[in-house]
Amino acid sequence: MNYPRAISALALLGSALILAGCQEKPGEEQARPAAQTAATQSPAGELARGLPPTPAAQSGGKALTYFNPPEKIPDNEFGKLVRQGELIFTDTPTYAKGFAGNGLNCANCHIDHGRQPNSAPLWAAYVSYPAFRKKTGEVNSFEERLQGCFMYSMNGKAPPADSEVMKALVTYAYWMAEGAPVGDTKMAGRGYPELDKPAQEPSAERGAKVFAANCAVCHGANGLGQKASNGKYVFPPLWGPDSFNWGAGMHRINTAAGFIKANMPLGKGGSLSDQDAWDVAAYMNSQPRPQDPRFTGNLAETDKKYHDENCYYGEAPILPRKKG
């Protein structure tokens, strides 16, 4: 383990269900048709749709120009699959039932339906694969990358590469990346920003204060999220049995801190100091979450093999994974 081991949960922090819907007009292309049912259940999603791009990125004193993904989905068979992919992306437990294992949606970490720069947008991810990944030690396809999201971030199981769920998600990402340069791994807004090492070692104690002042209003004082009357999360849980597990990339303090800095609080990205982002990340990943599915049966062995990174694995509480 390197450095202070920290939090990932907050990575979900601002992505609180970015679900929203549009009315489709017969015979016309549909502009950003998000999940209509989700739109009526997610005030956070309605808020997020109108958010400006995160102010995080400037280079050499000049504001960066971000890729603009398409707005209209074709009104044809291809478009139907794109829309299905968007439904899965924004209401994953409902539309990927059997594969999602918690209460999170893809849109919790990839804001505005996967469109938001500096929130690991789909348009930048799609054109970056196939690629070698240190996590797996091999070159992974985009489908394999998505399968990992289901195993770790969704605390579930990987959809087969030829499944309808996978086909729809890949089609949605393909559509969103229309016009993006294939193989460009340095697109502005790709992934989450990398923050400089903080002046002070990240502190969960300081982070608890940042959380109470900035995060608890949406995610609850206990960090377990808030649900609508239909039982679906309006604001996602940042830890606990319904959040991502210890294998998700968001459990790394540096990853979570970058996401938080750029995107949190929701609608106010860039408002926290770098130190606050690091501290609240440390606080969140000092909380309990489900076991890493790569667990070998030996905590120290799993830690050494998979967690030589900025995280609290092996030190913070670990919950059992759900069966099934």
pLDDT per position as a tens digit, 274-288: 999 999 999 999 999
Tell whether 151 and 294 lie within a shared domain: no
What does each C-alpha distance from 51 to 44, 46, 206, 268 come to in angstroms?
11, 9, 28, 9
Tell whether 126 and 44 lie within a shared domain: yes
Tell whether 73 and 158 lie within a shared domain: yes
pLDDT in tens, 193-251: 999 999 999 999 999 999 999 999 999 999 999 999 999 999 999 999 999 999 999 99
What pLDDT is attached to residue 209?
98
Tell whether 29 and 151 lie within a shared domain: yes
What pLDDT is attached to residue 312?
97
Asked whether residue 182 is assigned to any structural domain, the reply reads: no
Half-sphere exposure (Cβ direction) of 20: Cα atoms closer than 13 Å: 19
Tell whether 134 and 213 lie within a shared domain: no
What pLDDT is attached to residue 324?
59
Tell whether 238 and 307 lie within a shared domain: yes
Report yes or no: 291 and 141 within 8 Å, Cβ to Cβ.
no
Report yes or no: 13 and 266 within 8 Å, Cβ to Cβ.
yes
Asked whether residue 187 is assigned to any structural domain, the reply reads: no
Confidence of residue 25 (pLDDT cuts 50, 70, 90): very low
Tell whether 200 and 166 lie within a shared domain: no
Tell whether 99 and 149 lie within a shared domain: yes
Which two three-digit tokens encode residue 56?
A: 């995080």
Asked whether residue 188 is assigned to any structural domain, the reply reads: no
pTM of the predicted protein model: 0.84
Asked whether residue 201 is assigned to any structural domain, the reply reads: yes
Last residue of a domain, one of 144, 176, 208: 176
Last residue of a domain, one of 145, 176, 207: 176
Domain housing 170: 15-53+64-176
Tell whether 151 and 49 lie within a shared domain: yes
What does each C-alpha distance from 18 to 48, 114, 173, 197, 294 come to in angstroms?
6, 9, 16, 30, 30
Asked whether residue 113 is assigned to any structural domain, the reply reads: yes
290 has a pLDDT exceeding 60: yes
Q: The domain that contains 259 carries what CATH number?
A: 1.10.760.10
What pLDDT is attached to residue 20?
29
Asked whether residue 110 is assigned to any structural domain, the reply reads: yes
Phi–psi pair at 319, nearest 5 degrees: -95, 155
Asked whether residue 9 is assigned to any structural domain, the reply reads: no
What is the distance in angstroms between the CA of the first residue and the CA of the last residue of the chain?
31
Tell whether 163 and 198 lie within a shared domain: no
Tell whether 169 and 199 lie within a shared domain: no
Tell whether 210 and 149 lie within a shared domain: no
Report yes or no: 276 and 305 within 8 Å, Cβ to Cβ.
no
What pLDDT is attached to residue 322?
79
Count: domains in the chain: 2
Asked whether residue 4 is assigned to any structural domain, the reply reads: no
Which two three-digit tokens encode residue 313?
A: 């694995």
